[in-house]
């Protein structure tokens, strides 16, 4: 979703290992150097499923965090639990919002004179409509119509 610096990645891996959520194994490499393979422990899989089923609000509202959550949501095997997460995102997207406001009122693209601001809102609207359509379609395929 976005680059992760080694100075962030390796300490995170060590913390996950220390917590018993991840194990590291060394296996022969394809050429000469051995490679390190990381695997979730059973406790790590339980924690992953818990975090997928109960995402923090920022993981629903922040686009980068949402896409990361969405990339792993298939590992939450219960369709009802998957649907509950998707309903939270749907509710968030259905709230009126904008990048630009007049007081407390969100502005629409058509209300802006600035072509670049209009561009931001026009693109955001198109992305939001596409995601809303996908969410509704996916919820229906999970048997979650009208909840």
Per-residue CA distances from 38 to 52, 113, 118, 138 (Å): 20, 52, 46, 31
What are the pLDDT digits (tens) for 109-127? 899 999 999 999 999 999 9
DSSP 12-36: HHHHHHHTTSEEEEEE--SSSS-EE
Q: Which two tokens stand for residue 93?
A: 């997207």
Quote the percentage of the chain above a pLDDT of 70.
Answer: 97
**Other Cβ atoms closer than 10 A to 146:** 5
> Does 76 score more than 90 pLDDT?
yes
């Amino acid at each position: 979703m976005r680059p992760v610096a080694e100075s962030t990645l390796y300490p995170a891996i060590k913390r996950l290992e220390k917590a018993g959520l991840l194990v590291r194994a060394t296996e022969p490499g394809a050429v000469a150097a051995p490679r390190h393979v990381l695997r979730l422990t059973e406790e790590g899989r339980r924690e992953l499923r818990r975090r997928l089923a109960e995402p923090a609000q920022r993981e629903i509202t922040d686009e980068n965090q949402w896409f990361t959550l969405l990339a792993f949501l298939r590992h939450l095997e219960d369709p009802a639990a998957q649907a509950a997460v998707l309903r939270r995102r749907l509710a968030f997207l259905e709230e009126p919002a904008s990048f630009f406001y007049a007081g407390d009122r969100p502005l629409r693209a058509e209300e802006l004179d600035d072509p670049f601001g209009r561009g931001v809102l026009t693109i955001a609207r198109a992305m939001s409509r596409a995601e809303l359509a996908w969410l509704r379609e996916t919820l229906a395929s999970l048997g979650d119509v009208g909840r």
